[in-house]
Structure 1
Amino acid sequence: MKKTLVLLASAVAMSGAFAQASAPVPASPAASAAASSPAAKAGHERNVEDRIAYLHSQLKITAAQEPQWNAFADVMRGNGQTMGQLFQQRKAATNVTAVDDMKQYAAISQAHADGMKKLVDAFDPLYNSLSPEQKKLADVTFHQPGGVEGGRRHHGKGKVGKVAPAPASDAAVKP
């Protein structure tokens, strides 16, 4: 179950950031200003809201589960906003040194880890409120290759690539 929660949290926490980071890099300062415009922000927020709506539908959330769901969705929104801002800052940075680039990546990684913890903490009571059928749906939904983000993984500065296939079993992975 912990593995499922981690996969869930990872997929959901990063889902908004993937959509934001995969946008083309603007060619000019004017285009860069336009990319951080309210319209771009609205597009990012729409992506997060689309994922929230998708999960709500997939998990068949009931009226009785709405309080736990709303807490979980609010964490998703907050994580998406934080990651979106960090990726925008990373994309906007020009002429950075290798050290600065590594610091940006470290800040993103730390925000991701912090967001994951918040997401797991919010998902745990929701998962516990799910029926056995809903738990199976959650387990299947978040155990798919690539999770909710559709098999895409961020590789820094706007580059997105396909996720490598997972090993056949945990035994195949050697430390």
Structure 2
Amino acid sequence: MKKALVLLASAVAMSGAFAQQASAPAAAPSGTAASAPAAKAGHERNVEDRIAYLHSQLKITPEQEPQWKAFADVMRGNGQTMGELFKERRAATNLSALDDMKQYATIAQAHADGVKKLVDAFDPLYNSFSPEQKKLADTTFHREGGAEGGRRHHGKGKSGKAAPAPASDATVKP
């Protein structure tokens, strides 16, 4: 069960990672009508790409499809929630330090809520896995450093030195 929780925490990291990836295209031509739909489409494509990758990597069987669908739907919902919160964060200008902290707290709480939902959805799926699939899941999530490809944030990196604190809206990472 502990491994499943670690796996799920890694997987929910996707939600924030996808939202952060979507922020780059949207931030470029600020104020253009086409930039928001393009960013949303890119974000949704990233979520769907990740879902398809995991489906293939974990060798989901037809019998596991109902559990998989529930898990994938939670991933989509989490990605949508985080994407909207990051969009609001990018749009907010001239925030006071207090308002900025409140906004960060909202995002962090949404992330925590998303992790819980993902754990709840992944538990029955993981428990339906064959020993080979469990090993694939454990390796897939561990090897990739979760969903963010091993990026380091908050805390100590491989060198043992504290990692620098992020300085933008990309600070919200699991």
Q: Please tell me the TM-score bracket, short chain as reference.
A: 0.7 to 0.9
Measured after TM superposition, the shift of residue 125 of structure 1 is 0.3
Is the CA contact (8 Å cut-off) linking 2:12 and 2:147 kept in structure 1? Answer: no
**Structure-to-structure mapping, 1:1-175, within 5 angstroms:** 1-2=1-2, 4-22=3-21, 23-24=23-24, 26=27, 29-31=30-32, 34-35=34-35, 37-144=36-143, 146-152=145-151, 155=166, 157-159=168-170
CA 1:81–1:127: 2 relative to 1, 3 Å: same
Measured after TM superposition, the shift of residue 38 of structure 1 is 1.8
Q: Distance in 2 between matches of 1:130 and 1:59?
A: 9
* Aligned sequence identity (%): 67
Q: Distance in 2 between matches of 1:85 and 1:78?
A: 11
Measured after TM superposition, the shift of residue 34 of structure 1 is 4.1
Q: Distance in 2 between matches of 1:80 and 1:126?
A: 19
Kindly tell me the number of residue pairs found equivalent between the two proteins: 158
TM-score (norm 2): 0.81
Unpaired runs of 5+ residues, structure 1, are 161-175
User: Deviations for 1:91-131, whole angstroms, at most 9, x for unmatched residues?
Assistant: 11100010011011100110011011110000000011110
Measured after TM superposition, the shift of residue 29 of structure 1 is 4.5
Letter in 1 for 2:38: A
Is the CA contact (8 Å cut-off) linking 2:11 and 2:141 kept in structure 1? Answer: no
Q: Distance in 1 between matches of 2:152 and 2:83?
A: 15
Is the CA contact (8 Å cut-off) linking 2:58 and 2:133 kept in structure 1? Answer: yes
Q: Distance in 1 between matches of 2:16 and 2:34?
A: 18
Measured after TM superposition, the shift of residue 151 of structure 1 is 1.8
Q: Distance in 1 between matches of 2:49 and 2:167?
A: 23
Unpaired runs of 5+ residues, structure 2, are 154-165
Measured after TM superposition, the shift of residue 40 of structure 1 is 1.2
Q: Which 4+ runs in 1 deviate beyond 6 A?
A: none
Q: Distance in 1 between matches of 2:29 and 2:37?
A: 18
Is the CA contact (8 Å cut-off) linking 2:10 and 2:141 kept in structure 1? Answer: yes
Measured after TM superposition, the shift of residue 13 of structure 1 is 1.8
CA 1:99–1:34: 2 relative to 1, 3 Å: farther
